[in-house]
């Protein structure tokens, strides 16, 4: 999967093809494991954002992608991936939440951040908050 995502294409459809799979894998693996795994997952999402920016069309707003890329280098975004970097020139270290609530809040923020990426990558405009997923009816 990383090999497919790693290649940047000038065609937006090729870059958009694997966005849901990459987001799913990131949600499963993010903020878990040693520093090398966490940095790799962070790098995969960064590479995805860069490839979406390079191949964007008129449907995908450049200003929103640029804002996400700027937000991606903040310390709060590092925390979403279980990383911290006290001085900006230091190496990454593992960030661990203090309790289960902080862990779940961090995971929720990561899901919201990744869903924002998916919305921008889809190029669709509109409010989809009124649509209820059929999964909610199962519980």
**Average pLDDT over the chain, rounded to an integer:** 77
Per residue in 23-69, pLDDT tens?
Answer: 888 999 988 889 999 998 998 888 888 877 877 766 556 788 888 88
Total domain count for the chain? 1
Q: In this structure, are strands 93-94 and 83-84 parallel, antiparallel, or unpaired? A: antiparallel
pLDDT of residue 57: 66
Q: Which of 17-21, 67-71, 73-77 has the weakest average pLDDT?
A: 17-21
pLDDT of residue 36: 92
Query: Contact 69/50 with Cβ under 8 angstroms?
Result: yes
């Amino acid at each position: 999967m990383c090999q497919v995502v790693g290649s940047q294409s000038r065609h937006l459809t090729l870059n958009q093809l694997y966005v849901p799979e990459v987001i799913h894998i990131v949600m499963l693996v993010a903020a878990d494991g040693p520093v090398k795994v966490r940095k790799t997952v962070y790098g995969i999402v960064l590479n995805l954002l860069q490839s979406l920016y390079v191949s964007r069309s008129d449907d995908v707003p450049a200003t929103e992608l640029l804002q996400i890329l700027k937000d991606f280098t903040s310390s709060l975004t590092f925390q979403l991936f279980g990383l911290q970097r006290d001085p900006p020139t230091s190496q990454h270290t593992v960030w661990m939440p203090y309790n289960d609530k902080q862990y779940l809040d961090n995971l929720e923020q990561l899901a919201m951040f990744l869903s924002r990426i998916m919305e921008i990558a889809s190029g669709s405009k509109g409010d989809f908050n009124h649509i209820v997923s059929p999964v909610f009816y199962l519980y």
